[in-house]
Amino acid sequence: MNEDPENFPLVERFHKAEHLARELSEHLRQAFLPKLSELRHASKIADATEVTDKTMLDKMTAVLSAEDFAADIFEKLTLYLHSIERETKEIMGVSE
């Protein structure tokens, strides 16, 4: 999604920002935080036969992947929010 928020009407930017905020929230609750919790739990187990290096690597990779996805959504959301802010200030005649 490399679309420019400025190419959409203001109301559509609000809808897209709302959708992205909801997507980010759901991703954090349903993917990122559970993966982080799994990693944290595994890191507390001292038995190398129960939690192998490969297991730890897989859990760390999953957390990093989930973080990358969250960062991507956050970046898109930020673009929309800045665009909304610029246009609403323009409409209201507020100078920056």
Q: What is the pLDDT of residues 23-43, one digit of tens each?
A: 999 999 999 999 999 999 999
Which alpha helices (H) appear in 1-96, and where do they start and end?
10-27, 33-43, 53-92
Q: What is the pLDDT of residue 95?
A: 74
Q: Name the maximum alpha-carbon separation found in the chain.
A: 66
As a whole number, mean pLDDT of residues 63-80 equals 98
CA distance 57 to 61: 6
Rounded distance between C-alpha atoms, residue 35 and residue 96, angstroms: 41
Tokens 């490399």 correspond to: 2
Q: What is the mean pLDDT of residues 78-93?
A: 95
Mean pLDDT of the chain: 94
Give the residue, 1 or 22, on which the prediction is more confident.
22
pTM score, whole prediction: 0.86
